[in-house]
Amino acid sequence: MENLAWGLQMTVLGMGLVFALLGLLWGLLTLVLVLDKEPVTKVSAETSNALAERIAAVAEEAVGAQVPERPSVNGLPADLVAAILVATMKHKLTLRRQAAPVMRSNWPGSQLFASRWVTAGRAQQNHSWQPRGK
């Protein structure tokens, strides 16, 4: 019973400490947000409109000058790189359907008495990676 009381006491103490520190952090962050506000400056409507018109005039002139370049990857057009990527991924998926000849126990199709699923299960059971005798 002593161990249970001590365990409950440590649990309450630990959780209380964690939540007290979380509350302290929450209070500190709230205090920092209150004290670290940017000063707000009053701007008249005329100044605001003049600034907006000046920015709009500069933007209208700059839009015609900005011609985006064709995206490229190492000098090749991006659509060509995407097509090459799709072709290589499709090729890899096609090759993954067959195991490499090094990993095969038997030639594909030589064990026609069982499906490939059954053969794979038998191979996994018979050719275990764990050392025998342990």
Maximum average pLDDT range among 38-42, 79-83, 98-102 = 79-83
Phi, psi of 73 (to 5 degrees): -125, 110
Residues 95-120 have a mean pLDDT of 65
Mean pLDDT is lowest, of 8-22, 26-40, 42-56, 108-122, for: 108-122
DSSP secondary-structure letter at 99?
Answer: -
Position 97 pLDDT exceeds 60: no
- Copy the structure tokens of residue 61: 């002139």
Position 79 pLDDT exceeds 80: yes
Per-residue pLDDT at 25: 98
Mean pLDDT of the chain: 81
Is the separation of the CB atoms in 78 and 72 below 8 Å? yes
Is the separation of the CB atoms in 119 and 97 below 8 Å? no
